[in-house]
Structure 1
Amino acid sequence: MNCVKISPSRLRGEVTIPPSKSLSHRAVISAGLSSGESIIENVMFSQDIIATCSCMEALGVNIEKIKTGDNIYTLKITGCKSFKLQKNEIDCFESGSTLRFFIPISLINENNITFNGKGKLVSRPLDEYYKIFEKQSIEYTNASGNLPLTIDGHLKAGAFDIAGNVSSQFITGLLFALPLLKDNSVIKIIGKLESKGYVDLTLDILNKFSIEVINDNYHSFYIKGNQEYKSKNYRVEGDFSQAAFWLVAGAIGGDISCLDLNANSLQGDKEVLDIINRMNANVSIYDNKINTKLASTKHTIIDGSQCPDIIPVLAVLASVSEGTTEIINAGRLRIKESDRLTAITTELKKLGADIEEKNDGLIINGKPQLNGGEVDSWNDHRIAMSLAVAALKCTNDVIIKDSSCINKSYPTFWEDFRKLGGKINEWNLG
């Protein structure tokens, strides 16, 4: 098990934000579904993106990787219109996006395929797809509701009812696959759609690769059949869900400039800017960078329905901000890589935070400082990185166990932390 020990310090300097994981998934898949060659620049090879590339290659797509930086690659992707499985078993590692995107994609043609995974992914819910399988008589077997999942059949065009409060990943998976079916389809959203920002990213990427989807105010999505993805060159912008760690770190303990961010981005996690502004953070936005400096932050109400991935680090900010912050509509955090509401509550309490877990949110009474101590990442990259930010406001050292889980999305996080002046030691317990 890998561990890190972080001593209290202030972080200063510039950090280049890793490319958006959400956009990287979508660009790689769209390029793979296209005929011809696409060039996708600025892709970080985190474990999740490796999983998606492996899935594309298993479907017969050729991906040439050209290293351009520290774990950053340009991909030459030669797509194929008719998939021919190179292997019948696909490992999605711990990537929920990969699994939920590729289930419909693998069924564009008649296939027998098994999906495997690791960690919490094995038990993450797939009920929205099981309902479709049963309606369309697609045969499937699983391990008492868990992976491995074996599917035999093909997806048919038609009407699809998808719950809006479970995961937008089901919607995105269908949006990738349905344009390639012979007939027209419609996705009808049952209830209120959460994480609209992720659907916006999907629609934008599809449009860039010449796929047309009509969005009826997020109630229904109309998809023509017999469409064709057209190859395109694309550069992935910086990831606001990763920038959130440094934006909070600057606000509570330093002076940090985040580079390669698009202030006009469609990313839902860009909402971090509005939230930390409300909390009185010192934020400056320039052409291609966003800066935060040490400030006396205050309480607010945070709605987690549209930006679940940044809630753990915002809980850290709230724990050292004046007054009582309430986080609401965040129940979906319970079905992420960990139960993130329980995980962040448990670990911040160990550091001395005053935090109470509710059914779908948190109540946090801020303190000027936290104490420090030994905490666990719960094998969840966003919990580990959030606890690293919390260490900046502790009076004593913080030891984070199972720290290598950051490789899932941000393999160079500890290196960037150190470059900004963080006092950090890493070791392996064996």
Structure 2
Amino acid sequence: MPLNLEYKKPVLKGTIQVPGDKSISHRSIMFGAMASGKTTVEGFLLGADCLSTISCFRKLGVTIDLDGDRVTITSEGAAGWKEPAAILDTGNSGTTTRLMLGLLAATNFHSVVAGDDSIAKRPMKRIVEPLRQMGADIRGRQNGHFTPLAIQGTKLSAINYTLPVASAQVKSAILLAALYADGITLIEEPVATRDHTEIMLGHFGAVIKRSGNTIRVGGGQKLTANHVKVPGDISSAAFMIGAALITQGSEIRLTNVGTNPTRTGILDVIGQMGADFEMEETAVEGERSADLVIRSSRLKGIEIGGALIPRLIDEIPVIALIATQCHGTTVIKDAEELRVKETDRISAVVDELAKMGADITATSDGMIINGPTPLTGAEMKTYGDHRLGMMAAVASLTADGPVTIDDPDCIAVSYPGFMEHLKRLID
């Protein structure tokens, strides 16, 4: 059901704990299922994507109990998984789909992975090809380049692989398969990507070595159950950060936000734009975190590209919105990966912000935004993309007129309770 918003230039004040990190929540379930024993998870994200991961592993015979944001995973390790009687439905989750392929490739049974209509359009070739080089038997639409994908588990062998594009999901799928392959696998990244997989595998007892942009992992390793404390998701926090920055007179505190250096590109960007914010470090097992204090600021346009892009790829919708209120021109480039997200995020972000009066132009690998420009009310489409839904909601804070969001429910994929948190800061 569409949602109508008209906030009439509010001031945001207060403290929010954003939900648990989506990437870490996914991996806590996967690695807990791979490990022998009882794994406990605290701060788990109860979003639709992460619940899809739980559903898949339950179908593999793993016992997973939920108590609020606390999860208990009881497993005999990957050797104890059972052949699923039904399709492993990954919903809208690209992370679940792609990482599952690496894990299922080395089993001793047959399985089928499929998701929703959006997942059916997202490219799997970048995962399937290196896994096939390891000996994986994966078949599906267009020679296995799109879901549904059928996997016949088989014996795998180590490879040396250079990623053609920077992708944490591709890297992670190969890493997970490598744990069960014969020999030592080497993965070369063009630039460093999110390293949640490496950090958490180490937490579960695996030995992963990095030298520069080369990652080395030996096969035959077994994981041991552990406790995981999930920090808040900086990709979700980014939308609250944007809300405070562009809403005059605002000051908010976001507690226990994950600040893994491979994810903090958004903080680098707003710093370069001239944002007034503070970061107070806290402690989390295995992952860095901090409390963030964000104040409304006079911002300037900047150029964003190169090695910074993999560290903020999911935050570009809100960065584009922030840029509409910056003084000068903001150029976002080297972000071709946005074309194959939940939707073509370059086209979608440009089209939707343009409806509100933004001076924004799409390029082949990003966008150009001139500001500041006043935003007007509009009927905004999410295209089923949770980050576009949050972008529209934040844009409504500074819009002159009502903003209608066609599918607000999609926001729950990564941030259940987002609208309630936003209203709490306004009230």
Would the TM-score normalized by the shorter structure come out above 0.5? yes
* 1:320–1:393 contact (8 Å) kept in structure 2: no
Q: Secondary structure at the match of 2:58?
A: helix
1:19 to partner: Cα distance: 0.8
| Residues 6, 141 of structure 1: alpha-carbon distance in 2 compared, 3 angstrom cutoff | farther
Name the structure 2 match of 1:216.
Answer: 211
Rounded to whole Å, the distance in 2 between the matches of 1:310 and 1:234 is: 25
Q: Report what 1:75 is aligned to.
A: 71
**Residue matched to 2:93:** 95
Q: Structure 1 residue aligned with 2:238, among 244, 252, 257?
A: 244
What amino acid maps onto 2:179 in structure 1? P
Does residue 188 (structure 1) correspond to residue 183 (structure 2)? The answer is: no
Distance 2:162 2:95 in 1: 16
What does the per-residue CA deviation read over 1:152-198, in whole Å, with 9 as the maximum and x for residues that have no partner? 232502214252416320210221232233x22313337x23xx341
Asked if 1:141 is matched to 2:134, the reply is: no
Indicate the residue corresponding to 1:332 in structure 2: 337
Q: How far apart, CA to CA, are the structure 1 residues paired with 2:127 and 2:353?
A: 36
Greater Cα offset, 90-99 or 77-86:
77-86
Aligned partner of 2:291 in structure 1 is 289
Amino acid at match of 2:342: E
Q: Distance in 1 between matches of 2:166 and 2:6?
A: 36
Q: 1:353 maps to which residue?
A: 358
* Mapped contact 1:164–1:189 kept (Cα < 8 A): no
1:229-253: CA deviations, max 9, x gaps?
Answer: 0111111011111111111111111
- On the 8 A contact 1:105/1:177 being kept in 2, the answer is yes
The residue number in structure 2 matching 1:257 is: 253
CA distance in 1, matches of 2:226, 2:138: 35
Q: How does 1:20-419 map to 2 (within 5 A)?
A: 20-67=21-68, 73-81=69-77, 82=79, 83-132=81-130, 134-135=132-133, 138-144=136-142, 145-165=145-165, 167-181=167-181, 183-189=182-188, 192-193=190-191, 196-198=192-194, 200-218=195-213, 220-253=214-247, 254-262=250-258, 265-266=259-260, 268-287=262-281, 288-303=290-305, 304-419=309-424
SS, match of residue 305 in structure 1: helix
Identity over aligned residues, as a percent?
28
Cα offset, 1:107, TM superposition: 2.0
Do 1:15 and 1:257's aligned partners in 2 also have CA atoms closer than 8 Å? Answer: yes
Aligned residues: 409
| Larger RCO, structures 1/2 (Cα 8 Å, 6+ apart) | 1
Q: Deviations over 1:356-407 (max 9, x none)?
A: 1000011100124212211111110001101211122211111111111101
Q: CA RMSD in A?
A: 1.8
Please tell me whether the aligned partners of residues 112 and 151 of structure 2 are also in contact (alpha carbons under 8 angstroms).
yes
- AA partner of residue 201 (structure 2): L
SS of aligned partner of 2:173: helix
TM-score normalised over the length of structure 2 = 0.91
For residue 34 of structure 1, what is the amino acid of its counterpart?
A: A
Q: Distance in 1 between matches of 2:373 and 2:187?
A: 47
Contact 1:60/1:80, CA 8 A, preserved across alignment: no
From the superposition, tell whether residues 6 and 180 of structure 1 become closer, same or farther in structure 2 (CA, over 3 Å). Answer: farther
Displacement after TM superposition at 1:138 (Å): 4.2
The one-character-per-residue Cα deviations of 1:116-138 (angstroms, maximum 9, x if unpaired) are 11031111111133324554564
Task: Provide closer, same or farther for how the CA distance between residues 186 and 138 of structure 1 changes in structure 2, counting only shifts above 3 A.
Answer: closer
User: Would the alpha carbon gap of residues 232 and 221 (structure 1) be closer, same or farther in structure 2, given more than 3 Å must change?
Assistant: same
Which whole-Å CA distance do the structure 1 matches of 2:171 and 2:245 have between them? Answer: 35
- The DSSP-based 3-state class of the residue aligned with 2:266 is helix
Amino acid in structure 2 at the alignment position of 1:331: E
Query: Unmatched 5+ residue regions in structure 1?
Result: 68-72, 423-430
Q: Secondary structure at the match of 2:6?
A: strand
**Counterpart-to-counterpart distance in 2, 1:138 and 1:176:** 13
Contact 1:48 1:95 in 2 (8 A): yes
What amino acid maps onto 1:189 in structure 2?
E
8 Å CA contact 2:2–2:404 kept in 1: the answer is no
Summarize the Cα distance change of 1:147–1:25 in structure 2 as closer, same or farther, 3 Å threshold: same
- Distance in 2 (alpha carbons) for counterparts of 1:309 and 1:134: 28
